[in-house]
Amino acid sequence: MNIRSLYLEEEAVLKRAEGLLMSQQCFSLDVYRELYEEYRKLLKQMKTLVNVADLTQAELKTLSEELGKVSRIDGLTELYNRRYFREIFLHTWQQAVEEKDILSLLMIDIDYFKKYNDTYGHLQGDECLKAVAAEFQRAVGHPEDFVARFGGEEFVILLPHSDAEAAIDVAKRLLQNIENLCMEHSASPFGQRVTISVGIACRCPTSDVKPNTLLDEADQALYKAKAAGRNCFKLYV
């Protein structure tokens, strides 16, 4: 026995069976039994092969799903990451163009976060990001509302099918939730508590407008909220 071919034994069994058939002679029970035994052995081997392949495939499927999940999540806050936000945002934008629907985008920044890190250290800074992220997730109402960490202390919330009024409601809830957290921030002028600033942009997307426009508008609104003294929201108009 060697493996010049992977299926050498199977081929040998076939060849022998063919030879017997071609000879058109009666063959003894012993010859039949021998062929039967070989076939049985090879069938058992094939079943093992399939079982082992199934086990491996199932494992690969699980790993692939886990990897897919990990690649979409921000490891610290467990919110979606910027890469996945981009994917969802472009898809939602396109859908809104086709359905002539409205959508809103909130861009959020933690006020004086650099000072927070300087005061309490980066580890506590991470805890602050986690706590704030959880509150953002709690503040959205619909399953389609999409909360993501945009980078550093910046977050975005995408609200499909939502007009400015609905977006303002979410922004108010965000500010309220963070206020209720009462997270100490001795370097902040706002009652020495952690606060946020929110920029809101709202649009009915059209094919002649680039999706980044909405991001820019939310960013400009956020800038205005900061210029207005922080701990507030501003709507892009």
Which member of 43, 48, 78, 151 binds another protein (CB under 8 A)?
48
Q: Does 43 bind another protein (CB under 8 A)?
A: no
Nearest to 192 by CA among 119, 109, 95: 119
Q: Does 6 bind another protein (CB under 8 A)?
A: yes
> Between the CA atoms of 228, 230, 235 and 237, what dihedral angle is there, to the nearest 10 degrees?
30
Cβ distance to another protein smaller for residue 45 or 71 = 45
Of 47-55, 115-123, 190-198, 219-227, the segment contacting another protein by CB under 8 A is: 47-55
Q: Which residue has the tokens 């945009």?
A: 150
Of 42-50, 146-154, 194-202, 222-230, the segment contacting another protein by CB under 8 A is: 42-50
Using CB under 8 A as the binding criterion, the count of chain residues that bind another protein stands at 20
Q: Does 44 bind another protein (CB under 8 A)?
A: yes
Q: Is 178 helix (H, G, I), strand (E, B) or coil?
A: helix
User: Least distance to another protein from the beta carbon of 199, Å?
Assistant: 47
Rounded to whole angstroms, what are the CA distances from 136 to 5, 37, 102, 150, 201?
61, 67, 21, 13, 17
Cβ distance to another protein smaller for residue 43 or 204 = 43
Cβ distance to another protein smaller for residue 3 or 26 = 3
Of 13-21, 37-45, 102-110, 114-122, the segment contacting another protein by CB under 8 A is: 37-45
Please count the CA atoms within 13 angstroms of the CA of 197 that sit on its side-chain side: 21
Amino acid at 134: A
Structural tokens at position 79: 């919110």
Q: Does 64 bind another protein (CB under 8 A)?
A: no
C-alpha span between 54 and 48 (Å, rounded): 10
Which member of 45, 94, 176, 192 binds another protein (CB under 8 A)?
45
**Which is catalytic among the residues 10, 66, 87, 153?**
153
Active site residue 144: no
Count CB atoms within 10 A of the CB of residue 49.
Answer: 10
Nearest to 104 by CA among 116, 115, 96: 96
Which member of 19, 51, 78, 182 binds another protein (CB under 8 A)?
51
Of 27-35, 40-48, 143-151, 178-186, the segment contacting another protein by CB under 8 A is: 40-48
Which member of 34, 37, 59, 78 binds another protein (CB under 8 A)?
59
CB burial string 148-169: b at 16+ within 10 A, e below: bbbeebbbbbbbbbbebebbbe
Active site residues: 153
Contacting positions for another protein (CB under 8 A): 1-7, 9, 41, 44-45, 48-49, 51-53, 55-56, 58-59
